[in-house]
Amino acid sequence: MSVESFIPELWASRIQTKLRDSLVYGGLVNTDYEGEIRSAGDTVRINQVGEVSIGTYVPNSTSITPEELTDYQTTLTVDQMKYFAFKVDDVDAAQAQAGYMDEAMASAGWGLRNVADEYIASLYTQAGATTVSTAIDSTNVLAALLTLGQKLAEFNIPDEGRWIVIPPWFKTKLALAKVLIQDSGAAVQTFQNGFSGRVAGFDIYESNNCPNSGGTYYIMAGTRKAISFAAQINKVEAYRPEAGFTDAVKGLYVYGAKVIYPDALVVLTATENSEP
């Protein structure tokens, strides 16, 4: 029977690779704790240390007493579960036809990419600061980005590694303002995974998954330190459906995400000006 010779490890590896290659938001978070999850419902407790006090030392006078460190925990729960399932006429034949199976896995990976990206994007409500700038056009788009950079600087977030994810229309405003070309020098090229260049100290990424409600967009900016994300393809199985004469493949994808450092994440609430 063809199901008996199915190789789940090979297929699981393929779809995980395709998923990672196509993520936008998921590529801008940290995955430090991903190796610790095993199944949906797993909880990762992340230990964090409070600030260490700094005192003034006076020779022959100051008596130094070490303070007791304060610590606290943040919980990252892997509570999101998504699956894929499709039928093939013969699993052995499908595995032999790499192009056919790669296309099926690419389709599944694309679907998982969307739900994972949308979930991470929805965490904008936990940002440390929100700025409002209505009617973005080519005359004020740079000012909006500079304001976001200012907010991060006020939270003592380093310049290095800052990113922002924008909707397509926002990229058009940047291009019309000519700031993409001035800052990156290569923004006219086509980049993979949504990367579009640099502006005002930010790596610019474009995504259709940028959250919006009735034309109001919530544009996230920050660093990889802000959000922790953990995910894995938990199961991939071949089976024989009772109805019909086909073999089928199904897979379970589990993941979770949490804003660990809110100060490293800011949001621009913006609408598009119909004028250039």
> pLDDT of 132-173, one tens digit each?
877 999 999 999 999 999 999 999 999 999 999 999 999 999
**Which pLDDT belongs to residue 133?**
77
**Which pLDDT belongs to residue 173?**
94
Distances (CA, A) of 121 to 63, 190, 195, 212: 50, 23, 16, 10
pLDDT digits (tens, 9 = 90+) for 105-135: 778 878 888 899 999 999 999 999 998 877 9
3 state SS of 201: coil
pTM greater than the 0.85 cutoff: no
Which band of pLDDT confidence, cut at 50, 70 and 90, is reported for residue 94? low
**Which pLDDT belongs to residue 182?**
42
Which band of pLDDT confidence, cut at 50, 70 and 90, is reported for residue 238? confident
- For the cut 90, the answer to whether the pLDDT of residue 181 exceeds it is no
**Which pLDDT belongs to residue 188?**
40
The structural domains of the chain, with segments of one domain joined by +, span 2-51+67-121+229-258, 127-226+263-272
- For the cut 60, the answer to whether the pLDDT of residue 1 exceeds it is no
* Average pLDDT over the chain, rounded to an integer: 83
Contact criterion met (CB below 8 Å) for 257 and 29: yes
**Which pLDDT belongs to residue 242?**
82
Which band of pLDDT confidence, cut at 50, 70 and 90, is reported for residue 233? confident
DSSP 68: P
Closest by Cα among 28, 36, 14 to 102: 14
- For the cut 80, the answer to whether the pLDDT of residue 17 exceeds it is no
Greatest alpha-carbon span in the chain: 88
Which tokens belong to 259?
């804003």
Which tokens belong to 220?
């996230």
**Which pLDDT belongs to residue 209?**
92
Which tokens belong to 226?
């802000």
Which band of pLDDT confidence, cut at 50, 70 and 90, is reported for residue 183? very low
**Which pLDDT belongs to residue 192?**
47
**Which pLDDT belongs to residue 187?**
41
CB atoms within 10 A of CB 49: 9
Task: Provide the H-helix boundaries in 97-140.
Answer: 98-121
**Which pLDDT belongs to residue 144?**
95
pLDDT digits (tens, 9 = 90+) for 187-226: 444 344 678 888 999 999 999 999 999 999 999 999 999 9
**Which pLDDT belongs to residue 148?**
95
Q: Which fold has domain 127-226+263-272?
A: hypothetical protein PF0899 fold (3.30.2320)
**Which pLDDT belongs to residue 81?**
92
pLDDT digits (tens, 9 = 90+) for 32-84: 877 666 666 687 777 766 677 788 888 888 888 888 766 666 888 888 999 99
**Which pLDDT belongs to residue 95?**
64
Q: Which fold has domain 2-51+67-121+229-258?
A: Major capsid protein gp5 fold (3.30.2400)
Task: Point out which residues pair with 43 in neighbouring strands.
Answer: 77
